[in-house]
Amino acid sequence: MKKIGLLLLSNILLFNIFTQGQETYPLDTLNTKDKYTKVVLFSDYTWTYLELDRPDIDMDALSDHWDTEAIHAFKDVEIASLPDTVNLTLVDATHPFVLPIKGSVYSRYGYRRKRPHRGVDIPLTTGDSVRAAFNGVVRVSEGSSKTGGYGNLVIVRHDNGLETYYGHLSKILVHENEPVRAGEVIGLGGSTGRSTGPHLHFETRYMGKAFDPERVVDWTNGCLRDTSLVIRKQYYNINSRYGQADRTVAQTSSSSSQSHATSSANSSTSGSPQYYTVRKGDTLGKIAGKYHTTVSKLCKLNKIKETTILQIGRKLRVR
């Protein structure tokens, strides 16, 4: 029987010494049009296909508004027509997550110098590998000339409907309609487009509508916030940030004409624990004031000291 394995050519000579006259051995592997299928050539001039593990992608879910030319494929879909809440499974046994690039968010989702910033910026060094966050198919792979401020841009559609955007790349390594697995390098980081320095501009969108990517990714700890994601309609608002939205809902639910304040969003008024995500400039005193509690109560709840340095992004129990 033939041994199918990926041998480095430099090892073949050594291999040959041990197998001379006994067995054929792989000479080389060749790429095919399909990146998950290779051809292995053997020393006796025979060959065989080698099937690599394919990412688990449900292709049926990828047909809606599939447009490889338009950056925003859902322009005709009004936010009003979207459901109040969408529950997405982000990861399971066959759908992993990989951090696109390590680093901390230095520019968040929201208004920035009077312009909407619909993603997060993660600083990097030009040439750093940028990885697909989840399995998916590349919907857009486009150079700076066609993407405006995004620079070289890759958009991946995941089979739960979520799309992730990767902007300002110095080099794109995938083409449209190409399946990619979570963690696959889809491009190299850079500073193309409207950018003042090398960074990754990362967006998360559902049905074309952007929401704060920090609802999905915890960049401070380099992991997913949760295995699933509930997207509330108000998250598509540029002023709705991770760590503040549910509070906003609680405050505005009585005056808002929209009735999407759900029971879970209102739970802050009951006896269940409530959390706050530390932001730039926060102190225990400030947070305590905001929640009508005391610093010592906060310290007890979170088992920290008054002198503990609050890391941005840390979740503090406030009730």
Closest separation in Å from C-beta 241 to Zn ion: 14
Phi-psi category of 68—alpha, beta or left, where left has phi over 0 and alpha has psi -120 to 50? alpha
Closest separation in Å from C-beta 97 to Zn ion: 21
Binding mask 23-52 for Zn ion (x = CB under 5 A): ------------------------------
Read off the tokens for 299.
């310290």
- Does residue number 168 form part of the binding site for Zn ion (CB under 5 A)? no
- Does residue number 205 form part of the binding site for Zn ion (CB under 5 A)? no
Tokens 């292995």 -> residue: 40
CA angle at 8 for the pair 129 and 6, rounded to the nearest 5°: 80
- Does residue number 201 form part of the binding site for Zn ion (CB under 5 A)? yes
| Segment near Zn ion (CB under 5 A); pick from 92-100, 199-207, 217-225, 274-282 | 199-207
Q: Give Cβ neighbours of residue 76 (< 8 Å, ≥ 6 apart).
A: none
Cβ proximity to Zn ion, 201 vs 232, nearer residue = 201
Closest separation in Å from C-beta 38 to Zn ion: 37
| Segment near Zn ion (CB under 5 A); pick from 116-124, 148-156, 231-239, 261-269 | 116-124
Contact 29/38 with Cβ under 8 angstroms? yes
Report the distance separating Cα 130 and Cα 124, nearest Å.
10
Residue nearest to Zn ion (CB): 201
- Does residue number 108 form part of the binding site for Zn ion (CB under 5 A)? no
Contact 95/227 with Cβ under 8 angstroms? no
Task: Provide the 3-class DSSP secondary structure of residue 242.
Answer: coil
- Total binding residues for Zn ion by CB under 5 A? 3
Interface positions with Zn ion (CB under 5 A): 119, 121, 201
